[in-house]
Amino acid sequence: MQTELLEEIIQLPIPERIEIIKKISQSVRKDLQNGRESRSSPERRQEAYLRLKGIASVEGKTPPTDEEIKEDYANYLSDKYK
């Protein structure tokens, strides 16, 4: 969809393309002034982390300890390379 839109914009006369650039620029400035930052801002990542935290947890079960994970991985490698 973006490619199609870009191709259509490129076909427009220069004055119309300049107007589109101005409108997009204004929109970006407005969003930045309102505190909307890029999707990868630290605040958005933190927010996503907090929403997803615990999503894979199973009720009644505790997650394995680091030591248990290391042991399971060592067993996996041992079986794999027998």
- Write the pLDDT tens digit of every residue in 42-59: 777 888 888 887 777 778
Query: 37 by DSSP, 3-state: which?
Result: coil
DSSP state of 63: P
- Write the pLDDT tens digit of every residue in 4-27: 888 999 999 999 999 999 999 998
pTM across the whole model? 0.41
Please state, as a whole number, how many other Cβ atoms lie within 10 Å of the Cβ of residue 35.
Answer: 8
Q: Report the candidate in 27, 30, 19, 28 with the shortest Cα–Cα distance to residue 9.
A: 19
Domain coordinates in residue numbering, the chain: 1-52
